[in-house]
Structure 1
């Protein structure tokens, strides 16, 4: 299996940006194992970068460096930051997607939720750095994923299969245009048409 795509830099996973490099230098040392680096990066993004909805942020971010600079982002943006930190350490990181209700029920429709896949100890693990609040309890796990959201029965919630090397293009375009949280609520995509880079 080639993981080159999962180590690459792009517009949104901009790990050569000075802010990302500086934070990586603060979080990691050469003696730190990949497992320790992944845990440290995950806890930093999950706990120190609040989800934009949770704090009513007035700044909308998409690029990893912007998420770090403004210290906020929605799940997709936070996943970009986690991927950037890990790829800066040559740890393969990708993206996974879930079809979820935007509210506690389907009154606001559905959205594409994003979390990460990370290649550690010869297998892919799933990590959701959305941020724990209001009963959400995502955790670092090398075995069974402990994600932010379980699919609710009675609603059209499910996981899209596979691991993607790049952020969701349509959501990135939406974030670039959005100027408020309401813009995100009104315009966040609820479909995924891309083909995964790794099938599951």
Structure 2
């Protein structure tokens, strides 16, 4: 093993450990979150099947705030579960919490996408999703945003099938996996009270360097 490989392994071990911890926003030790996580594991013996079940629960059973035009605006994982709705970021916080409750390392990652997927000149805005550490495959991205006619995200490791592909100028996968939400995401979701106001503020969210 060379020095770079050792450093890389050390960094990954630190990231894995960080992506297991509870936090203010990924509060997997909340009784309702923990209970939900345990209920999702009933009858599931395979870790990959457990990840899929938790993923599909958040993807399918927690409506995206824009699709359903639902409030309140949520950020904390327990609030997403309690109110049954969230933007992409909030839904990723809940999925991270459910998987961390099972000691499955799960972090947050981001994309820059055109807000209107059919318009190449619409504003760029931030999109949030997850990365889960699977021993068989390493870090694997999955997107619990919620499917609709134009979106078909699935859990099919090792292949990534995300909600959105990069197709317009300026769109990008933002490198890195974060154990906790970006400060700008927390500000966005805690300062705004309506779906429309969050949408208007989306292009302003900045991503600091790791």
Confirm or deny a common fold (TM above 0.5): yes
Structure 1 unmatched ranges of 5 or more = 196-200
SS in 2 for 1:126: strand
How far off is 1:139 after superposition?
A: 0.4
- The equivalent position to 1:121 in structure 2, one of 112, 131, 135, is 135
Is 1:141 equivalent to 2:156 in the alignment?
Answer: yes
* Aligned counterparts of 1:146 and 1:168: Cα–Cα separation in 2: 24
* Aligned counterparts of 1:179 and 1:15: Cα–Cα separation in 2: 24
- Cα 1:109/1:37, change in 2 over 3 Å: same
* Aligned counterparts of 2:180 and 2:209: Cα–Cα separation in 1: 10
* Aligned counterparts of 2:209 and 2:82: Cα–Cα separation in 1: 29
- RMSD value over aligned CA atoms? 1.5
- Deviation track 1:125-144 (CA, whole Å, cap 9, x = no partner) reads 11000000131000002112
Give the 5 Å matches for 1:51-90.
51-90=64-103
Give the 5 Å matches for 1:34-183.
34-104=47-117, 105=119, 108-122=122-136, 123-153=138-168, 155-183=169-197
- Deviation track 1:145-190 (CA, whole Å, cap 9, x = no partner) reads 100001123x211111122221122111110011001110111244
- Deviation track 1:1-34 (CA, whole Å, cap 9, x = no partner) reads 3111010111110001111011112111486222
How far off is 1:191 after superposition?
A: 2.8
* Aligned counterparts of 2:121 and 2:104: Cα–Cα separation in 1: 39
Counting matched residue pairs gives 194
* Aligned counterparts of 2:72 and 2:56: Cα–Cα separation in 1: 22
* Aligned counterparts of 2:149 and 2:195: Cα–Cα separation in 1: 19
- Quote the residue 1:198 is aligned against: none
- Quote the residue 2:4 is aligned against: none
Structure 2 unmatched ranges of 5 or more = 1-11
* Aligned counterparts of 2:121 and 2:201: Cα–Cα separation in 1: 15
How far off is 1:194 after superposition?
A: 3.2
Tell me the TM-score normalized by structure 1.
0.91
* Aligned counterparts of 1:111 and 1:80: Cα–Cα separation in 2: 18
Asked if the contact 2:71/2:85 (under 8 Å) is kept, the reply is no
Highest CA radius of gyration, 1 or 2?
Answer: 2
Higher helix share: 2
